[in-house]
Structures are given as structure tokens and as C-alpha cells.
Amino acid sequence: MAPGQHHDGVLAVVGHLHDRDTRAAAGPPDRLQVHAGVGQGGERDLGIRVAAHGADQGDLGAEQRRSDRLIGALAAGQHRHGAAQDRLARLRVPLERDHEVRVDGPDDGDAPGGAWNHVRSLPRPRPPQGHEWKEHAAREHNGVMPTDAPIDLLPDAPAVPGPGDGVPVQGLLLDVDGPVASPVTRTVPAGIIADLLTLASAGWPVVFNTGRSDAFIREQVMEPMLAAGIPSGVTFHAVCEKGATWFSFTADGAGQVFVDRELALPASFADDVRDLVEEKYADLMFFDETKLSMVSVEQSLDATNAAYLEGQRLFDDDALDILHSHDMGACRLDREEPNSHGDIDYRVDPTIISTDFESVRVGKDLGAERALTLVAPLTEIPPIWRTVGDSRTDYAMADYLHEQGFDVAHVDVRPADGVPVKPYEVMTEGSLVHEEAGAAFLARCVASLG
């Protein structure tokens, strides 16, 4: 491998984003070719994140490690270490596993294998705090950053305004049903669409953190935004199914949807729930065919909410029996039904218009963590965040951000359910609820821009 040059960047192994294992982690490529930069002839390449050697090791070489055939290196060259690291920080497809790439210089005088300390490893000593999220993005869940485009092809987020440019940039982490989309019509008001576009154009990271499917977000949120006009350089992110799936979208449309298969429920259970709905509850609800990980049913638009809620508890009891028949330990609120080993791996989560069957590992806190890893490669993570939700479980977004050291406040658009005592500010919009409260909050955010 040649000595470092000023144009050196991340060395991408020629491979494709579909070359991943069952955990969606980058797998070994079929070829050993490497090149400087990301993207080769329009191919969507897998990037390798490594730390740069100093200029005194300009004869940097790379050798293949064991049988996995992953090789690569980044040579900094004279006075280019900082610049090289800056480019590395923007990598969007990091490797999760430590020491995937061995970098060594044949004449640098160290012992064989002595250059391991030059590899950018990904330890998890503790949850990152505030500004450290730029580095923490390197070990996003399952080792995959959510984009289906090379770095050079996905528009950058707008530059973050400096301290003298007015109101500080804030991150927005938004539940969708209730704060953004009407729980009655399931659509998003035009005013909310317009305000979200305005805030994103001002450099505010906007991430949807929802139990909804990616299909719902594309149809009810992304498409109206595209129709209104997403400015060039603006990227929105959606963490769906409570952290189990995620994707990003720009003026060019939606990127690839990523799924954490370890969180998916068995297809046989989904089939039984579908049959239950068709046989007993078709007048009240429908089976959501768009979910990729969880299993969900939802109130039919032609059913009254009162009738749905009355039938929901009966349905949930029947569904718990199905879980038991599959030996799937589950809980619903205060009811627990462990599996034959005494474990509870699944949750039945009723809402005012749906019931979700999900892994106990998903939640709005997992969604918040994924949100930060989505934002980090595009812009600096703002220290101030506002989370918005309509249920008690939505507070987990703010809980997580507060634990990570961010300045957070939560906007509750349905406070009648009870406002818990929290170590951060909880905001409401007077007598307004659901999407009307969400619209009022976003309008105030826009007004603060001046």
C-alpha cells in the first residue's frame, strides 16, 4: 500500500451493503481490492474505520488478517493526522467489532502485530456524554449506520449555526401518533409539515421515534414533506417499531430500511394473530401488514374508539393465550406469563388505538439511542433536545437523553394521563392535546428562530 497522501481518506473494501450477516453487521467482502475514498464506479461500498498512522510511518502497509480477508489502512501523511481523523468521523458504515483491520508498517521497527494500537477500536466503557456521541456513532447497534448511499452521495445536513446566530440549535425527537399525526385521521396537518421543514432547514436535527412502521412514515410524513419541498442538504431520520427498524430520507426520497432481526417476533406467532383478528375482531381492528419486526393490530377507521377499547382487552387476553401456546413468555401491564424457563422476552403494549407485540428490548429509549447514532455522522449533536410524546412510555426518550448528559425537556401532548415527576422539565400546551398541542409547540420553536 502506498504511503499516505493528502487526498487519502477512508479505504473502502469493495463490497456491497447487502453483504451483511443476520445481525446486519458488515460481513467480509468477496474481493481484496481496496481504494482511497468511498464509492467506486457508483458501487455502494463498505467502509472500514481505522485510525491514521503518524507521518513517521509513511511506509504504512496493510496485511490480511487470518481468514476473514478484511484488509485496509489509512495513511495520514505529513501534518495530515487531524484532517484524516475528521474524515473518519464522518464514516457512515462503521465496523462494530474491534480490530477488524490490522495495520502495520514493515520497517517501523515494532514487533510483528505491534501496530494493533493504531487500529480504531470501539470499546464501550460507559454511556457517552454529550459531545462524545460523535465517537459513539461508530458502534451503532449491529454495526450498521442507516444509509443506503455512500458518504459522497447523501446530502449533508445544513451547517449548525454558531453561538452568535440566534437561538441555539435544538434536536427534536418526536413520537408520531398524537404529537405529529392525528390519532383519529392518522394524517399529519400541513402546518406541522411546514414547521418541521423550517426547523430542519435551520439546522435542527429532526428524528421521528415511533412504534409505527417505516411504510407509515413514508406515506404519512415523508411524502407530504416531499410534496411541500424538502430543501437540498436536509436529512430527516425515522426510528420505527420502537428502535427495531430505521431509515433516513432527503429530497431524493427514502434510503434503505434497516432491521434488527434479533428483535423480530416469530412469523408463526404473527400468522396466529392475523387469524385471530380475522375470525373474531375484524369489525374493530385490522392486522398491520407493514410491520417488519413487531406484530401490531390497529383500530379500524370505521370503528368507534369506545368500541375498540372495549374489545381491545378481550383481544389482548386471547393474544396472550397465543403467546403461551408458542411458549413465548410475555407481560401486559401488570400481568406476567413467563415461558417454560421462567423468562419473559416479549411485551404486549396496548395504546388508545392499537396493541403492539414486541421484544422487551425495544422501546423509546432504544429509539433515542439509535436517533443519536443517525444524527452524529451528519452534524454536531446539539446539547439541547426536546422530546414530544402522548403516552407515559414516551418519557423514556427524555429519560435516556437526560442520562446521557443532554439538556432535555419533554413535551407531553396528553397530560391528562398523569405527568410523572422527572429530573428534567415537562412541558404542556395548555388545554391543547395530540396534534394540536404538537403543532403549537412546533410553531413556538419556529417563532424562536426570529
- pLDDT tens per residue across span 195-211: 999 999 999 999 999 99
> Rounded mean pLDDT of 62-66?
36
pLDDT band at residue 158, thresholds of 50, 70 and 90?
very low
pLDDT at 450: 86
pLDDT at 132: 57
Q: Does the pLDDT of residue 192 top 60, yes or no?
A: yes
- Model pLDDT, residue 167: 77
Q: What are phi and psi of 449, to 5 degrees?
A: -70, -20
Quick one: pLDDT band at residue 165, thresholds 50, 70, 90? low
Higher pLDDT, 58 or 402: 402
Instruction: Express each pLDDT in 8-53 by its tens digit.
Output: 333 333 333 333 333 333 343 332 333 333 333 333 333 333 333 3
Confidence (pLDDT) at 345? 98
Rounded to whole angstroms, the Cα distance separating 224 from 47 reads: 33
**pLDDT tens string 324-370:** 999 999 999 989 999 999 999 999 999 999 999 999 999 999 999 99
pLDDT at 107 over 70: no
Please name each of the domains of the chain with its CATH number: 1-129 (no CATH), 171-261+364-447 (3.40.50.1000), 264-359 (no CATH)
Mean pLDDT of 114-131: 34
The Cα–Cα gap between 408 and 388 comes to 11
Q: What is the pLDDT confidence band of residue 296, given thresholds at 50, 70 and 90?
A: very high
Alpha carbons 299 and 96: distance in angstroms, whole number: 40
Query: What distances in angstroms separate CA 434 from CA 22, 176, 211, 391, 396, one per listed residue?
Result: 38, 10, 16, 10, 18
Share of the chain above pLDDT 70, in %: 63
- Give the pLDDT score at 18: 37
Arithmetic mean of pLDDT over the chain: 75
Pick from 79-83, 112-116, 315-319 the range whose average pLDDT is largest.
315-319
Q: Would you say 43 and 14 are in contact if contact means Cβ atoms under 8 Å apart?
A: yes
Cα–Cα distance for residue pair 49/39, rounded to 1 Å? 15
